[in-house]
Amino acid sequence: MHGLSVAVLCSGSSGNSILISHERSGVLIDAGLSCKELDRRLSLFGAEPTQIEAVLLTHEHTDHTRGVRRFCAEHELPVYATHGTLALTTLDGIETRTIRAESGFSLNGLAVRPFKVKHLAAEPVAFAVSCESKKVGVASDLGCVTPNVIDEMSHSDLMLVEANYDEKMLTGGDYPDFLKRAIKSDHGHLSNDDAGALSFRSSSEKTARVILVHLSKDNNTPEKAKEAVEREMKRSRHSPRIEVVEHGDAGGPYELG
């Protein structure tokens, strides 16, 4: 792993995990796969658990924490998360570090900044990770695009943005009404149009790529997600490349140099 590199190990309700690395060191954002599967997917990108400094958790939901305890126990890694997330995540015997939104910290050359998002979780955060002049913004599992999210994601070289659902597919789909309302709420998930708005409002001349993640298996398609974001980005002076990580798949590596 040379330079700043990002690999999406998995994305979607089946599990979420993102590797951000610099030279021979890195962090995992979330560990929503089994320990065995995390090890396997890391190997697909030529990475090893020994190169990881810590696991950063966005929130406590199972698709983000499924393998965290065993993975960290086997590889002797600490977990960084907010107080609310730690309180609801089983981490017996694991070293933990409590973090706060808008309070940055460093991990072996990586500058990490958690920031507040709205989601149906105890104390959720998203992350921006920087190394020297390069920045990666990761905004997934949030129900609305706030001014704070736009600001924290701005000036990223690479943005990973949730595009969970197509409005028409969700509205006309088979989910019960209470679940549709929860998904569409300010504490639910971002629609394709929301993803387009966030990408448009946060992108800059630095932004080379926008990667769409956390697509619903039932209420979205990669084509609809990409089309919606590309349509919104046509209004922008900037023209980052728009890519999609399909539900359950891996994506990358995305090299920032």
Give residue 50's pLDDT. 94
Question: Taking every pair of C-alpha atoms in the chain, what is the biggest distance, in angstroms?
Answer: 51
Cα–Cα distance list, 234 to 62, 81, 106, 205, 239 (Å): 36, 37, 36, 14, 8
**pLDDT tens across the length of the chain (257 residues):** 456 999 999 999 999 999 999 987 899 999 999 999 999 999 999 999 999 999 999 999 999 999 999 999 999 999 999 999 999 999 999 999 999 999 999 999 999 999 999 999 999 999 999 998 999 999 999 999 999 999 999 999 999 999 999 999 999 999 999 999 999 999 999 999 999 999 999 999 999 999 999 999 999 999 999 999 999 999 988 889 999 999 999 999 999 97
Work out the number of other CB atoms within 10 angstroms of the CB of residue 227.
15
Domains in the chain, please, with CATH? Answer: 1-100 (3.60.15.10), 142-246 (no CATH)
Q: What is the dihedral of CA 70, 130, 102, 83, to 10 degrees?
A: 10
d(CA 48, CA 235): 41
Strands 52-56, 79-81: pairing kind: parallel
Rg over alpha carbons for the chain, rounded to the nearest Å, is 17
Give, in degrees to the nearest 5, the angle at Cα 5 between 114 and 190.
Answer: 50
Give residue 186's pLDDT. 97
Give residue 24's pLDDT. 74
Q: What are phi and psi of 79, to 5 degrees?
A: -115, 130
Cis bond before residue 253 (omega within 30° of 0): yes
**Residues making up the chain, counted from first to last:** 257
Question: Residue with structure tokens 């913004």?
Answer: 137
